[in-house]
Amino acid sequence: MTGSNRASHRISRRAFLIGGASAAAALGAYTLAGWIAEETYQPPSIDSAAPFDLSRRGAPTQPIAILVDPNSADSFGLYLGEVLRSEGLNAFQIENLTLIDTGYLTDFPIVLLPPAQLSPAQAVGLAGYVAQGGALMAMQPDAAIAPIFGIRPAEGTTSAGYLVARDGDRTPLQIHAEAAHYAPDGAAVIAELYHDRSTATGFPAITLFERERGRAVMFAYDLARNIALMRQGNPAAANQDRDGAEGNRANDLFVNWLDLDNIHIPQADRQARLFVKLIENVLRDRLPLPRLWYFPGAAHSLIVLTGDAHAAPASFIEDTLQTAESFGGRATVYYSPPADDGALNQLRRLVARLPLFGWLAPDRDGRPTSEVVKDWRERGHEFGVHPYVEDGVDEGYVRFLRAFHRDGYAPASPTVRTHRILWSGWVETARVQAKRGFRMNVDYYHIGPAFRAADGSWPAGHFIGSGLPMKFVDERGQIIDVYQQPTQLADEHWLATTYRGWAGLDGEQAAQVARELIDRCLDGAYAAVTVQHHMDFEPTDQPDYQHAKRWLTGILDYARERGLPIWTTEHWLAFTDVRHDAALTGLHWDSTSATLSFMFEAPGAAVEPLSILIPATFDGRRLVDIRVDDQAVVGRIDRAHGQEYAWVTAAAESHRFLVNYEVVS
């Protein structure tokens, strides 16, 4: 080898070493940059506070108009629309009260009026609408239009009262909104106003007045506000620990607020259904109203299966997921990765990012890996975050979303349960959840001494007056884009285990409580029953694991026996979203041909078909034929809300319905 060749060889070795060092430096910089990005990840912030646009008047396209006063600082008129959506009556439009006139209103078969101070012109316009045959339903009507309703304003108001229906079920239902006093002056009393469960005030809670062609219904209280107060609790109790259990939780809002004798009754839903029944009554010979069913297909209730896991090993979680699968269900895992993972775990994550050498990183005490989480999701389960918020709600959500991203679990699912179900303000936690991209929470949680009856028993039921989801509403009546879904069955309330046990039941006793609740739901108190089964215990734990497993399998076995789907919260949210945004448009009743036509429109991701309920009889006629997109279909006849409907399922897209009736002989 010549000298020149040897020199060239020496240069190549030097170049190799320099290149290797450069590559190592680049690799280190890449690894360090990725590690820094993980540790400083900032979750996105969403602005969902845009107010509803009431600046212009639209064309009348729906049979129901809700008149909202844009000048009112706290009108719950928008929430009245959410009440209708919750009952599947997605056939309304929101209108600006200040822009309407009699001529415009005549295109609506029925008008809904939240509490409002009316101008003389508005009062005249509404009187003219009813005189021409319109149907008007008003909450706490202005004295100027009292004659329309066949009532006279009277002195005084009733707070914290009850209503008792004149017909049917006379169970007293709570009214948290202040009720005005009116004296009937020709109106029929539909429901009476009570001071307490047994003492009548002598004034009506709801009236109906029919004169000539017009019909008018009066609520002495603001129904929408009352449903919000019933579902979301007492605003005056915000940020107060009232139940004696450590921490400010959502259930603290219900201490001395919920009449425990009524916990088995979905009081908010009962009042919403009475409201819809009155709408159907005043349109009884003018327009049959189809509505959307609450659940997929023919299901009359549903199980939402969830479990919190606090840095639990993957094997503990897998045990619960396999149990759910054995009953044909899927489960939601709300997982709390360590938010501040310590220096050793930071080093582990740094090593894990090294190409070719990441396998050297030590195990994380059996906690789920990103690959394991991916497998769970592919099997249909949900994996969401369970944030700690002791140092602030948004601060806690940011820390735990960062940890979720750091450990490879991102994106977090769009549903959430806060650790220890801590709650801020009346709806402040919901605002933060909306800001951070969450769409449904299960934080309203049946737990603790707030739910112990005077006789020492622990009744189960619907402490928010409902087992169904609705969006939150804030103090000013603005809608928050997060659904409230209560958790009715939590292991730490019902089971006598090491870290739980308010009711002190064993697994079989607690499962029997759940069976009885399911039976009541299927008997008309329709609900999505949310189950909380912690995933923090392994099979060797005694008696915790055995009690919890017996309780869980007892619930799931009975749900399967009674035909209840077993879903994740995310699955329930997807269905709820499509149902919420679906519309029943172009409703037209031809009395000559006895034909109802309408469009069903449900944009959104593909989910289970929705069920449309069509009245089986209307104005002395019985349904005989249904055509969907010009194809004859057979609707299953079944009862709901005390009457018969033809149930027709339709996929989430656009469909044209044509329904024919004939005179009943």
- Biggest CA–CA distance in the chain, Å, is 122
What pLDDT score does 559 carry? 98
| Distance between start and end Cα atoms, the chain | 116
CA distances to 48, 226, 411, 483 from 43, in Å: 16, 35, 10, 21
CATH code at 74? 3.40.50.880
What pLDDT score does 41 carry? 73
Q: pLDDT per residue over 337-393, tens digit each?
A: 987 655 555 555 555 555 555 444 445 568 899 999 999 999 999 999 999 999 999
Pair 260, 318 in one domain: no
Question: At a CB cut-off of 8 Å and minimum separation 6, what does 396 contact?
Answer: 387, 388, 389, 390, 418, 419
Flag whether 372 is in a domain: yes
What φ, ψ does residue 471 adopt, rounded to 5°? -70, 150
Q: pLDDT per residue over 440-496, tens digit each?
A: 999 999 999 999 999 999 999 999 999 999 999 999 999 999 999 999 999 999 998
Pair 143, 243 in one domain: yes
* Cβ contact 586:265 at 8 Å: no
Tell me the torsion sign for CA atoms 228, 229, 230, 231. Answer: positive
| Displacement of CA 193 from its chain's centroid (Å) | 29
- CA-wise closest residue to 218 among 131, 109, 137, 128: 137
Q: How far is Cα 93 from Cα 72, in angstroms, rounded to an integer?
A: 19
In the chain, the amino acid numbered 579 is: R
All residue ranges of the chain with pLDDT < 50 are 1-9, 26-27, 29-35, 358-362
Question: At a CB cut-off of 8 Å and minimum separation 6, what does 230 contact?
Answer: 174, 176, 267, 268, 271, 464, 465, 466
Flag whether 44 is in a domain: no
Pair 569, 645 in one domain: no
Decide which of 515, 546, 577 is a domain's last residue: 577
Q: How far is Cα 568 from Cα 541, in angstroms, rounded to an integer?
A: 26
Report DSSP state, residue 495: B
What pLDDT score does 359 carry? 45
Pair 469, 565 in one domain: yes
Pair 561, 637 in one domain: no
Q: How far is Cα 510 from Cα 546, in angstroms, rounded to an integer?
A: 13
Decide which of 577, 601, 624 is a domain's last residue: 577
What pLDDT score does 34 carry? 47
Flag whether 58 is in a domain: no
What φ, ψ does residue 17 adopt, rounded to 5°? -65, -40
CATH code at 599? 2.60.40.1730
Q: How far is Cα 367 from Cα 219, in angstroms, rounded to an integer?
A: 55
Q: Which long-range contacts (CB under 8 A, 24 or more apart) does 516-522 make?
A: 516/460, 517/460, 517/461, 517/488, 517/489, 518/301, 518/555, 518/558, 518/559, 518/562, 518/564, 519/562, 520/264, 520/461, 521/300, 521/301, 521/467, 522/300, 522/301, 522/562
Flag whether 169 is in a domain: yes
Token pair in block for residue 481: 């884009």
Q: How far is Cα 236 from Cα 89, in angstroms, rounded to an integer?
A: 32
- CA-wise closest residue to 514 among 536, 541, 545, 487: 487
What pLDDT score does 550 carry? 94
- CA-wise closest residue to 404 among 419, 380, 421, 385: 385
Q: Which helix (H) or strand (E) holds 20?
A: helix 3-39
Flag whether 192 is in a domain: yes
Complete DSSP assignment for 543-573:
THHHHHHHHHHHHHHHHHHHT--EE-HHHHH
CA distances to 628, 638, 646 from 622, in Å: 18, 14, 11
Q: pLDDT per residue over 250-277, tens digit each?
A: 999 999 999 999 999 999 999 999 999 9
Flag whether 482 is in a domain: yes
Pair 509, 403 in one domain: yes
Pair 278, 405 in one domain: no
- The number of beta carbons lying within 10 Å of the beta carbon of residue 37 is 12
Pair 125, 273 in one domain: yes
Three-state secondary structure readout of 162-227: EEEECCCCCCCEEECCCEEEEEECCCEEEEEEECCCCCEEEEEEEEEEEECCEEEEEECCCHHHHH
Provide the residue range defining the domain that includes 530: 301-337+367-577
CATH code at 428? 3.20.20.370
What φ, ψ does residue 156 adopt, rounded to 5°? 90, 175
pTM: 0.91
What φ, ψ does residue 440 adopt, rounded to 5°? -150, 135
- CA-wise closest residue to 358 among 369, 366, 367, 368: 369
Flag whether 14 is in a domain: no
What pLDDT score does 12 carry? 65
Pair 146, 220 in one domain: yes
Pair 267, 124 in one domain: yes
Pair 170, 218 in one domain: yes
Token pair in block for residue 442: 């299960």
Token pair in block for residue 612: 């449309």
Flag whether 246 is in a domain: yes
What total number of domains does the chain contain?
A: 3
- The number of beta carbons lying within 10 Å of the beta carbon of residue 270 is 20
Q: Which residues of 86-119 are buried (b: 16+ CB within 10 A; e: fewer)?
A: bbbbbbbbbbbbbebebebbeebbbbbbbbbebe
What pLDDT score does 8 carry? 46
Pair 588, 509 in one domain: no
Complete DSSP assignment for 454-471:
TTS----S-TTS-BS-EE
* Cβ contact 607:597 at 8 Å: no
